[in-house]
Chains A and B, each alone.
Chain A
């Protein structure tokens, strides 16, 4: 129960209508903050038992911060070809399964690249690149494909009609259609047959303050430390420092999409 009347900023894994809050202006945010504090005050007066829930929802209802740009830096040089811990972690976290069928969704996958002329080979994970100017958002007829104020590109599964135009438009094949009814869903990641989905940068973890994603946690747990997650707008963050210190690239940089995922040592 959310007695403040505010929708969470994205704690539902992009499945809820968090866009309005994620994109709202500063003025609107102040107004909502005022409403929120008013609601909390009212509940204290009315019933102490409800107050606890109001405070809990207040955390989840924090709007996406437009000053933040969440990003990932992947060092392909540290990504062993026989490791897929990030893929397994994502699958476990969000409840999607790849059983080897063309119809199975894959939010993240390990890609092997081989230089055509030199034969140099390497592997690295590829997922939604969380573009600043996402083609999937441009083409979506209902606005179900949207970008939060903090740069995370999501699908609102309440308004996705399953037209798959975003899948046609995505340069990175980052989106999947759920081809069959899903059962035993994860609470934080609602999914639905006939709708499109993709990496949501573990938005539920970020909104509850974890400050990282399942894939990065798993990568660090292996000791490979091939992935750095953080705020690309914060010059003091690990990702910003790494990006400033070493050369990195964006996939399909020619498209000028300014990606939230960067790669090193491809």
Chain B
């Protein structure tokens, strides 16, 4: 086994330039938050029918991806695959960074972001939101300890394993909690399903792995470090299996819902008559974000090419984003069935498909969260010994 040497990123114009660019996105998002705080949510595209919009899609996407980004570390520490261990630190750092980025978007889109402290002084333990607050902060703490156990010399070997196992179990519970935000909404036909929790878990596997691949390939390319083709291909093949799992759970989600006649309306809406939501589901989520990248990554010749892995990972991210858009916004666009068996109408958009067009403020806020997450990764790898000098294939064949 080759000795792994972790080194901070060097101070290069590329590193600082990238940080400056990300900083600009974060600053723009900060300005947007102040603007919304001053004028109210009336300046966004959200309204009293579509109460959660694009910022929530960004936030949930990042939060879900965060737990998935820990995959590589877990495979190394919990399942003892030596080849993955050199990537464990950056995997854990990326997990924290994505979670911080997602939470930032989520809390800054609150109607009263200035009252964030209230969420830490007033708890309602019947709310999955309350549990999520604890799960998210707990995740950051546990993964931080996990990184520490990896970086601190002199600790017994089991320390890493115990911390890694704790982080792994915690991330499964965390994503169960995120999926349950929707799974436990009894009032809305598009949600209210136990399958939401496992669906979100496999979604996290996919988006987290895709982001991990792009981030590691990006940083290693930018800094001239080696990222072995065999190692990359292994991760890419794993990504293909995860894509298949997401497609499976998505099929189960809709087939289960369709079996009940009372849900035909919402299913027909999403799958056939929903306009943008139907296009996003079949065209972007299933085809562009699912079948095409899966085909690329299951093709032995293509999966070995770095460019194809970049393409497939990018498509997976776009597909995952579309999937959450369909779930979050599409699920609200379909009207509530307050009077089953009746057609209804009112001044409050009862009985009609709710319209929503995200505006530029929401886009800037969302990308601010993405930029914040990436900036944390760059800063972390710049100042801490997170990334090995080389992620060569020397350890790929090593056994645990």
Contacts and interface: CB of A to CB of B under 8 A. Distances in A.
Interface of A: 98, 100-106, 109-117, 126, 135, 137-144, 159-165, 167-173, 176-181, 192-196, 251-252, 254-255, 266
Measured as residues with beta carbon below 8 angstroms from the partner, the interface class of chain B is 35 or more
Contact of A161 (B119, B186, B336, B349): B119
Nearest to A162: B111
B342 interface: yes
B128 interface: yes
A141 B124 contact: yes
Contact of B111 (A106, A126, A135, A195): A195
Interface in B45-60: 47-49, 51-52
B347 A110 contact: yes
Given A115-B341, A116-B342, A179-B40, 13 more contacts: A102-B49, A111-B338, A112-B344, A139-B184, A140-B129, A141-B123, A141-B124, A141-B130, A142-B118, A163-B110, A177-B48, A194-B112, A195-B111
Interface in B166-199: 181, 184-188
Interface of B: 37, 39-42, 47-49, 51-52, 110-113, 115-116, 118-119, 122-124, 126-130, 133, 181, 184-188, 332, 336, 338-350, 354-355
Contact of B124 (A143, A164, A266): A143
Q: Which of A98, A111, A167, A192 has the most CB of B within 10 A?
A: A111
B130 A194 contact: no
A172 B338 contact: yes
B340 to A, nearest CB: 8
A168 B48 contact: no
Given A143-B124, A168-B332, A173-B350, A114 B133 contact: no
B347 A106 contact: yes
A161 B116 contact: yes
Contacts, number: 173
29 contacts: A98-B347, A102-B49, A103-B47, A109-B346, A110-B346, A111-B346, A111-B350, A112-B344, A113-B344, A114-B344, A115-B342, A116-B341, A135-B186, A142-B124, A143-B122, A143-B124, A161-B110, A163-B129, A164-B51, A168-B188, A169-B186, A172-B336, A173-B350, A178-B111, A179-B40, A179-B47, A181-B39, A194-B41, A194-B110
Contacts of A135: 185-187
Contact of A103 (B48, B115, B184): B48
Nearest to A256: B186
B400 to A, nearest CB: 42
B253 to A, nearest CB: 18
Contacts of B332: 168
Contacts of B42: 103, 179-180
Contacts of B347: 98, 100, 106, 109-110
Contact of B40 (A110, A117, A193): A193
A171 B186 contact: yes
Contacts of B345: 111-112, 114
Contact of B350 (A98, A109, A140, A180): A109
Contacts of B52: 164, 168
Given A162-B112, A165-B129, A168-B332, A104 B118 contact: no
B58 to A, nearest CB: 16
A236 to B, nearest CB: 32
Given A105-B48, A135-B187, A193-B111, A113 B342 contact: yes
Contact of A141 (B51, B127, B346): B127
Contacts of A164: 51-52, 111
Nearest to B356: A102
A173 B336 contact: yes
B33 to A, nearest CB: 12
